[in-house]
Amino acid sequence: MPKPEPDYARKSMVYKLIRPAIFLLNAETAHGLAIAALKRKPAGKRAVAGGKLSVRVAGIDFPNPVGMAAGFDKDGEVPDALLGLGFGFTEVGSITPLPQSGNPKPRLFRLREDRAVINRMGFNNGGAMAAIRRFEARRGTPGVVGINIGANKDSDDRIADYARMAVAVAPFATYLAVNVSSPNTPGLRSLQDEGALSELLDAVIKARGEGGPPVFLKVAPDLEPADIDAIARIAIDRKLGALIVSNTTLARPPLKSKHACETGGLSGAPLRDLAQQRLRDFRSATGGAMPLIGVGGIACADDAWARIRAGASLVQLYSAMVYEGPGIARRITRRLGKLMKRDGFTSIAEAVGTE
């Protein structure tokens, strides 16, 4: 008798069938439906720590190295459903202290021919209070759930916003991700400059408190070599838990889609090589002294494996889920185990940076 199709293969087949209908919808409406569907989804089988794909980063045991990137679950509505799809971890956010509506719609575009996305959402989210109510409701539930924090667009003290967020969400976060790299909040990325970044991280570390979760920093791919060196130095000096490389890009490599000229951050396949190169740059700037999380254009196990070999201890994705559907995490992790074996490694940690 032929072996039954594994769950993730069935999911991909179903997704392939319904994708044309989903793609008829405006991208933000489709995203809303995906969140609604995940809220109703049965729990699903989670990855558990201790297996062959487990990785320990910043004192946290990640059951596998494939995470959902920030921006998919901005308000922390479905972290457990995402873990139930086989992701080893998920990053909620970005969350700002006060609710904000973000930029006018349309602000999210699928570039189908390019397997890419352009977004200028502008940190639309329900704010810290609403998110905290959800975190309270799942308190004690196992699973690696990072919380990505940002500043309100019209705040007159952005550093104070990050500190406020760190105090508010630290009790619920497995790690805190400081996002200073969104291109859609004017001026936000200047917080990556040496002086501002040091001040910001000192404030967040103080606010997070003794014994609080590790602090990760998420950077843009659009950085000059001098910026990379300065960020690497500050990250090591402040003993951050990891650097997340990278957010979306303002660059526009050649694109085929009619939405190519939309303003915003580009993600998905056309970001892959740039994000991979930035990861290498951060690997050499940190000399391997700081764990790195690779994100940008990862769509399959080979992409994830290449990022790990280039220096990533963990990877994240978002755009590829739009094109590949909810079976993507299981598909990648299954094959990642095979690639690890093929190349003669017994753990992910052993393969990191062996390019």
Ligand X SMILES: Cc1cc2nc3c(=O)[nH]c(=O)nc-3n(C[C@H](O)[C@H](O)[C@H](O)COP(=O)(O)O)c2cc1C
Q: Give the H or E element holding residue 66.
A: strand 66-68
Say how far apart CA 342 and CA 119 lie, in whole Å. 37
Which CB sits closer to ligand X, 103 or 247? 247
The residue ranges that bind ligand X (CB under 6 A) are 69-71, 74, 93-94, 108, 117, 119, 121, 148, 179, 182, 218, 247-248, 267-268, 271, 295-298, 317-320
Which CB sits closer to ligand X, 213 or 345? 213
DSSP reduced 3-state for 330? helix
Q: Shortest Cβ distance from residue 286 to ligand X (Å)?
A: 19
DSSP reduced 3-state for 261? coil
Residue of 103, 111, 90, 104 lying closest to 183 (CA atoms) = 103
- What's phi and psi for 157, nearest 5 deg? -140, 90
Alpha-helix runs per DSSP H in the chain: 7-24, 27-40, 79-83, 127-137, 158-169, 194-208, 225-237, 272-286, 301-309, 319-324, 328-342, 348-351
Say how far apart CA 103 and CA 121 lie, in whole Å. 6
Each residue of 239-266: b (16+ CB within 10 Å) or e?
ebbbbbbbbbbeeeeebebebbebebbb
Q: Shortest Cβ distance from residue 298 to ligand X (Å)?
A: 6
Transcribe 138-166 into DSSP letters.
Answer: TTT--SEEEEEE---TT-S-HHHHHHHHH
Beta-sheet pairing, 144-149 with 89-95: parallel
Which CB sits closer to ligand X, 70 or 336? 70
Which CB sits closer to ligand X, 57 or 315? 315
Which residues on adjacent β-strands are paired with residue 317?
68
Nearest residue to the partner ligand X, using Cβ:
71
Q: Shortest Cβ distance from residue 124 to ligand X (Å)?
A: 8
Which CB sits closer to ligand X, 147 or 345? 147
Which CB sits closer to ligand X, 307 or 345? 307
Structure-token pair, residue 218: 């998420």
Q: Shortest Cβ distance from residue 210 to ligand X (Å)?
A: 26
Q: Shortest Cβ distance from residue 267 to ligand X (Å)?
A: 3
* Catalytic residue annotation: 182
Q: Shortest Cβ distance from residue 71 to ligand X (Å)?
A: 2
Determine contact, residues 296/116, Cβ cutoff 8 Å. no
